[in-house]
Amino acid sequence: MRNFGYFEEDYTQVLSEKGLWRRIFNYLKPFLFPFSGAILLSLFVTASSLGLPWLMQRAIDLYITNPEQSFDLRMTGLGQTGFLYGGLVCLGFITAFLQVLLLEWIGQSIMHSLRQDLFRHLLDVNLAFFNRQPIGRLVTRLTNDIQNMHEMFTSIIVTIFNDLLRMICILGLLLYMNLRLGLLLCLFVPLATGLTILFSKLAREHFRAIRKQLSRLNAFIQETVTGVTLVQLFGRTDDLKKEFTNLNNDYLSKTLRQIKLFGTFMPLTELMSSLAVALILWYGGGEIIRRQLSFGELVAFFSYMRLFFQPLRELSQKYSIVQSALASAERIFNLLDTESEYRTDPDSAHAAPLSLQGELSFKDVTFSYKTNQPVLHDISFTVKKGETVAIVGSTGSGKSTLINLMLRFYEPESGIITLGGHQLPDIARNQLRKEIGVVMQEMLILPDTLLNNIVFDTKKTKAEVVELLENTRLTEFVANLPEGLETIIGEGGQAMSTGEKQLLAIARVLCRNPSLLVLDEASSAIDSRTEKLLEQPLEHCFKEKTVLIIAHRLSTVRRADRIIVLEKGRIIEQGTHTELLARNGMYSQLIALDFGSGSQPTMMNARN
């Protein structure tokens, strides 16, 4: 229920900071050329923003306050300087615009490739991994965490470079113009840096507290709104309102604390800049009296000082962006480091695909999801080529686990599974999963045409599919859809009944021409229409293919060549329909029940 903005831990330093930067840099590598372009542009941006006050100073000193020259000469000089000024303004504008675009492109491209890597990796990770991870968290890695890193690439790396460059240049210029006044202003650097770092640390704690409280508040609202009917029925509205009010007030007080913090620190930069103005006026004015400084230089001092304090104001914000980007990067790379199941695969690129036609066999297979709680005990059975074998058993008897092992979603603890005489670990997973066609209870329907949903990645043509459908008696359900094979299904498309979905799944699997067909029958009620729809295609499969079926319907069971009765992870009976009937064990009881004669006594037992 809690999936709304849950709280993520900050940077935990499981991966070292150096290691993180190295891996981030690896993604940057293909873009080194455009990236250096962006840095080059930042030289221009800085030059133009610093050049303007300089031109202003020259205009004042050389022309405006220079009574020695004639008025006309001064005006011409002023005009020329103005012209330069305008040119520099345009240069600044164009380079700044180009830089933003270039950085966005680089950042987005890097993030795109990182996102693709991560997505691809997620699809390759062992299935067991997904049992431990909530989906929401994994999606957050792919979306929000990547977004966080993107901000660092676009707005931080280069702007930090911009700012540093600018601040260094300003300090240099100030020192050049007037050494002592410049040195005085240098005093602000450690002061401002210290304040910024202190503020960033405090702000981060406050932000964390706020985020945590907000996610608690939102989780509470979400939960209560979801269960509002229950709350009303159980008469708890007032209590929950009280609880809500407490959470809401806590959130308010946390935000107010943050406002106090910001209210204290934000004006401090303004205060520093006022102090600097006072300092320049007092000391710089004195220098003018002592003829050590010109008017133009004094005005330039004011302008540069403004430019100097500008990046400081945003530094704390940038610091927190970097922190959150590093935290995201760590989470992303941690996820990328989880083991992919294909790492243990035989190298399929070099070996020719194995020929897998033939039988499936389980030999003494034991398996457990959690240690010491085995789901399967010493399972041995064989499905011969062309045979149809049904497995029956109650929920939790281990039927679905058989499929999980067959497809190598999990590895057996002990025992051997072979397909066509080859042990499963010798077969590349991709080939294995193409050879075993599984019709599962869950359905995957992509929002696409029916044809594409059948073909998937097999590259079959429409004609081939039509032929296949005719051969397998699957044409009827296609004909029932408004545009046949071209009907768009899935989210937003044509709705399909349960039976039709089952048929689609069968068609899809047959299209892949697997050597072994595995059917996991739906356990929920199936109406007679669906039953009828399924009958012919299933009949066809049983005749033509090697089939393993996890059965829930007696009609299916009776059609199988052989039946395996599974109970609590063990095979308790095995044999053909007639053999099992003759044994007069559990299977024959089931059959007797199905014909209705024994149903009354059982019900009487149930009522007592």
Residues 324-383 that bind another protein (CB under 8 A): none
Minimum CB–partner distance for residue 74 and another protein (Å): 6
Site for another protein in 63-102 (CB under 8 A): 63-65, 71, 74-75, 78-79, 81-82, 85-86, 89-90, 92-93, 96-101
Asked if 398 and 569 count as a contact pair (C-beta separation under 8 A), the reply is yes
DSSP 8-state class, residue 425:
G
Site for another protein in 425-454 (CB under 8 A): 430, 433-434, 438, 440, 442-444, 446-449, 451-452
- Residue 421 has phi, psi (to 5 degrees) of 90, -10
- 380: helix, coil or strand? strand
Minimum CB–partner distance for residue 48 and another protein (Å): 9
Minimum CB–partner distance for residue 381 and another protein (Å): 18
Nearer to another protein, 137 or 473 (CB): 137
CA 14, CA 331: separation in Å to the nearest integer? Answer: 9
- 304: helix, coil or strand? helix
CA 225, CA 604: separation in Å to the nearest integer? Answer: 44
CA 84, CA 253: separation in Å to the nearest integer? Answer: 54
Minimum CB–partner distance for residue 14 and another protein (Å): 20
Minimum CB–partner distance for residue 19 and another protein (Å): 26
Site for another protein in 575-594 (CB under 8 A): 586, 589-590, 593-594
Minimum CB–partner distance for residue 239 and another protein (Å): 7
Q: Name the segment binding another protein (CB under 8 A); options: 4-12, 159-167, 170-178, 382-390.
A: 4-12
Site for another protein in 549-568 (CB under 8 A): 554, 565, 567
Rounded to whole angstroms, what are the CA distances from 429 to 88, 338, 424, 441?
Answer: 62, 18, 8, 22
Nearer to another protein, 228 or 543 (CB): 228
DSSP 8-state class, residue 29:
G
Site for another protein in 197-226 (CB under 8 A): 218-219, 221-226
CA 473, CA 494: separation in Å to the nearest integer? Answer: 22
CA 365, CA 418: separation in Å to the nearest integer? Answer: 11
Contact string (CB under 8 A) for another protein, positions 392-411, x = contact: xxxxxx---------x-x--
Work out whether 227 is an interface residue with another protein (CB under 8 A): yes
Tokens of 6: 């849950």
Nearer to another protein, 219 or 465 (CB): 219
For the chain, the residue count is 608
Kindly determine how many residues on this chain lie close enough to bind another protein according to the rule CB under 8 A. Answer: 159
CA 490, CA 475: separation in Å to the nearest integer? Answer: 20
Beta bridge partners of 146: none
Residue in 32, 259, 351, 582 binding another protein, rule: CB under 8 A: 259
Work out whether 490 is an interface residue with another protein (CB under 8 A): yes
CA 27, CA 110: separation in Å to the nearest integer? Answer: 6
